Amino acid sequence: MLLIKDLKKSYKKNEVLNIEKLEVPQGQSFGLVGNNGAGKTTLFRIILDLIRATSGHVEIEGNDVSTTEEWKRFTGSFIDEKFLIDYLTPEEYFDFLAKIYGLSQSDLDAFLAQFEQLFNDEVLGHKKYIRDLSKGNKKKVGVAAALIGNPSIVLLDEPFENLDPTSQIRLKKIIDAFKKDRNVTFLISSHDLNHVTEICSRIVLLEKGLIKMDEAVNEQTLSQLNAYFGGNAVEDVIEKGE
């Protein structure tokens, strides 16, 4: 379970995040939406201890991320291309990760076989460095890397960005399979409201660092979000069921 409590982040006098309490239970698929500057990536970076909060704390399975390392064993993530070792080929990168997680070659081969359709013969076997791949193929490598090592919680920031429609559909199937077969908790930040409401069971909407909406996904969720981002106040959207 992920627990966020009394979390604040400020840069000088500018408060960019203020979350009193947020819990994500094991196995839930959690979608984080909001406009640019809402605090989505800042929140993910604090969860992963890449930046420190001004106050408050984050716990993953009871481990405070700012004071322990234990949570890293079962947490996968891909935020941006900086997470990749771009002077390696994809094969070298996956071999490197396999050694970290103690996977045999056969284990790694079985793992990568799950991504064969997503990779679409564009990622492996071409002797290309990761830095020379397209943005979409870098995204595929990063998402696969986030899922290696049998994580129980995975954070993905804009996983559908730069992917063609076929790859987006294939990625959704992979995420769905990991949810159902391995009970993986997914935290997905995305500007794509259609995809995030399709694969997530809960949506949290951030605006200027504050939670404006926290709802279980239902048949009205997508239209509510479209109405909100179209200019209606979130309170009116929820009350009217738009």
Report residue 44's pLDDT band, with 50, 70 and 90 as the boundaries. Answer: very high
Distance between CA atoms of 131 and 213, rounded to whole angstroms? 38
How many domains would you assign to the chain?
A: 1
Q: What is the pTM of this model?
A: 0.91
pLDDT of amino acid 236 = 55
138 occurs within a structural domain? no
Residue 190 corresponds to which tokens in the numbers above? 């995305």
Contact between residue 149 and residue 103 where contact means Cβ atoms under 8 Å apart: yes
Residue 225 corresponds to which tokens in the numbers above? 């979000």
Mean pLDDT of 122-134: 95
142 occurs within a structural domain? no
pLDDT of amino acid 43 = 96
160 occurs within a structural domain? yes
Report residue 223's pLDDT band, with 50, 70 and 90 as the boundaries. Answer: very high
27 occurs within a structural domain? yes
- Residue 16 scores a pLDDT above 90: yes
- Each residue of 45-71: pLDDT tens digit? 999 999 999 999 999 999 999 999 999
For position 10, which CATH number holds?
A: 3.40.50.300
103 occurs within a structural domain? no
- Each residue of 168-218: pLDDT tens digit? 999 999 999 999 989 999 999 999 999 999 999 999 999 999 999 999 999
- Each residue of 142-156: pLDDT tens digit? 999 999 988 999 999
127 occurs within a structural domain? no
129 occurs within a structural domain? no
119 occurs within a structural domain? no
How many alpha carbons lie under 13 Å from residue 229 in its C-beta half-sphere?
A: 15
Rounded-to-5 percentages of helix, strand, coil across the chain: 40, 25, 35
Domain containing 7 equals 2-84+153-240
**Region class of 89: left (phi > 0), else alpha (psi between -120 and 50), else beta:** beta
